[in-house]
Structure 1
Amino acid sequence: MGRQSPEPLARRLTHHIESAYHENDSEAKSTPPEVINDASPSTIRSPANSRAMDALKQLFCGGMAGSVAKTITAPLSRLTILYQVHPMVTTKENRPKFSMTLSGGISKIVERGGILSLWKGNGTSVLHRFPFSAINFYCYEGMLDILNPQRDADDDEDINDDTREESKFSRLIAGGVAGCTACVACYPLDLVRTRLTTQLDGQEHYKGITDAFVKIVRNEGFWGLYSGIGPTLMVAVPSFSISYMVYGSLKEYALEDELFYNLRKIDTKTGEEKLGFKLSLMCGAVSGTLSTLVTFPFDTIRRRMQIQSLHYAPGERLTGIQMIAKLLKKDGIKGFYRGLTPEILKVVPMVGSMFTVYEFMKDRLNVK
């Protein structure tokens, strides 16, 4: 062996790299070969950097999943919102509904603004959905780690996150915390998206995203960006709690029951069984449908509260409770579910594609 250096490994590596550029340097010739072999990414990369990179990967996976799903279902999303708020913006008292049929609603949108108008406001949707989904998935996985700590193991035992036991209650809590955090962080973008989506052609209040932010703050103050946040949280918290709990439970069942054996896929690197495309789609669709049926009435209220400042004088604006009472008195229970059909039709491609893209991106980026 050559002389033993008292310096840390990282400093010795630096000396070794510098010596490569000086062939006549005698110090380069005496560098122990063991040091060269130790120069691996895992040696140089600190645990803190590793965790930071894994977090960024996870955020990216969640953001991409939400953005792709939102773009695919943008036409149905716009149709749902127009159904929910149309009685507030229409000038025809005898036509309280946006349209009597789905095809009629789509035809109206295309007739007034062309085929691309089906994606009106989608830029804002993606701008909102990327950080929203990224924060959502990241917080969910983080909360599961906190609520389901790994069991102690020997130092030489390689522990994988997939081996942790997750209870239904922990999924419920983690989903609620994730939905609440993402909602509060990204709500202004959701508000702007709703207002841009519901603008009538020829009567636009805002020219774009930036103009909308400026005018809302100027006319309504900073807290105008959070108009309707209460009903929104009443949607987000139970929605994501139910969605994540049902999806996680179904995923667990599908990976264990032999009935779904032919629909599962095998990871060629680890040999572990994972959900295939069909199973991901099925689990996502069921979880999304159940959460939508439970939370849709609150979603209708929040949409109306988000745009009421555009159509009512300050003294005529309603609180969430007043909005619920008014809608119940005027339209009954069915008024809370106006627009449910396109929303349910959106669930399968929306939630299914979101979880599918998320699982796909995690595999590609080797995120545990």
Structure 2
Amino acid sequence: MALDFLAGCLGGVAGVLVGHPFDTVKVRLQVQNVKKPLYRGTFHCFQSIVRQESMFGLYKGIGSPMMGLTFINAIVFGVQGNAMRRLGKDTPLNQFIAGATAGAIQCVICCPMELAKTRMQMQGTGEKKSKRKLYKNSVDCLLRIYNREGVRGINRGMVTTFIRETPAFGFYFLTYDVLTRQLGCELGDSYIIPKLLFAGGMSGIASWLSTYPVDVIKSRLQADGVGGVNRYKGIADCVRQSMQEEGWRVFTRGLTSTLLRAFPVNATTFATVTLFLMYMREDEGPMDCDALQQQAQASSL
């Protein structure tokens, strides 16, 4: 159990290191002012951040997801495993239900973590007033928000996070289960790792596509208030204003960056988990394929 948990954490860390620059670009594109856009698109955003803020600019806010990683993986491991045991049969539907349950419960950690990440990623953008650094790091960010707005403040965006994470994890587990069955993941298969990498990457893409519009609203709500100005009264008002100002395309803002991130993040996570477990258990003989799939599933997204 401890070894599996460690493997999941290492895989998650690798995924964050690979995917965070794409996430920073996604957030910047999602929340930029459409009337005074700073970036023309995904690649222009990448270039602008590196040119103006160096490569470190792409990793703004990485402390928050790194801190929350252990807790999120622990929740996902425990909830998904227990849910599958209670549901009994390993079927695609049960994979969806177990994944959705895990996604819903881990929102308790995920929401404050992503709030700090989003606020840190937005530092140094916008008008001159907001260019000064408000937060030293992710912990300082959450403490300042808590001191100013209380528990409600650090849970800003919880409803949208719940709406996003619940089906996202469900579709991830469902897609991964279907793909690994179709690809014929079997013991002794010399292509088991590429198959798991492909299945994980495609499942990550499928899960993001299923809930992306909600993620746009979540990012806007969590970034609202940076610089001292609040634009939105709530979810419905955010949707209404966004639609009025930018049309339906607003719900695809940053999608290219997100999909570019989804595959390598999940692929890296799977490779790390797989290679670590194989190395640590090489004296125990070949690994059970179902067990390997469970570890890779629980540590992704």
Do both share a fold (TM > 0.5)? Answer: yes
Residue 312 to residue 71, structure 1, CA distance change in 2 (3 Å): same
Residue 95 in structure 1 maps to residue 64 in structure 2: no
C-alpha displacement of 1:329: 1.7
Q: Any idea what SS the aligned residue of 2:160 has?
A: helix
Correspondences of 1:267-306 after superposition (within 5 Å): 273=189, 276-306=192-222
The answer (yes or no) to whether the contact 1:247–1:284 under 8 Å persists in 2 is yes
Other-structure match for 1:31: none
Say if 1:265 and 1:275, in contact at 8 Å, map to a contact too.
no
Identity of aligned residues (%): 23
Aligned 1:137-156 pairs, distance under 5 A: 137-148=77-88
Match of residue 63 from structure 1: 9
1:180 corresponds in structure 2 to: 104
- List gaps (5 residues or longer) in structure 2: 126-130, 282-286, 292-301
Residue 82 of structure 1 corresponds to: 28
**1:310-321 map, 5 Å:** 310-311=226-227, 313=229, 316-321=231-236
TM-score, reference length from structure 2: 0.85
Name the count of aligned residue pairs: 278
Contact 1:277 1:356 in 2 (8 A): yes
Cα distance in structure 1, aligned partners of 2:190 and 2:12:
21
Letter in 1 for 2:106: A
Matched, 1:167 2:91: yes
Determine helix, strand or coil for the equivalent of 1:135. helix
Contact 1:65 1:133 in 2 (8 A): no
Larger RCO (alpha carbons 8 Å, 6+ apart): 2
Shift of 1:274: 8.1
Report what 1:255 is aligned to. 184
Partner of 1:241: 170
Give the number of the structure whose alpha-carbon radius of gyration is greater. 1
Structure number with higher helix proportion: 2
Q: Which runs of 5+ in 1 are unaligned?
A: 1-53, 88-92, 149-164, 257-263, 267-272
Q: Which digits, 9 at most, give the CA deviation of each residue in 1:127-170, with x for residues without a partner?
A: 2233223322332222112212xxxxxxxxxxxxxxxx411110
Q: Distance in 2 between matches of 1:138 and 1:330?
A: 43
**Equivalent residue letter for 1:141:** G
| Pairwise CA distance, 1:357 | 2.6
Pair 1:353-2:299 in alignment: no
Distance 1:180 1:275 in 2: 33
Q: Distance in 2 between matches of 1:136 and 1:119?
A: 25
Deviation sequence 1:270-326 (CA, Å, 0-9, x none)? xxx586221112111221111111211100101111121324546x53211111121
- C-alpha distance in 2, partners of 1:116/1:179? 30
Q: Matches of 2:193 and 2:90 in 1, distance apart?
A: 22
Please, what TM-score do these two structures have when normalized by structure 1? 0.70
2:21 alignment partner, SS class: helix
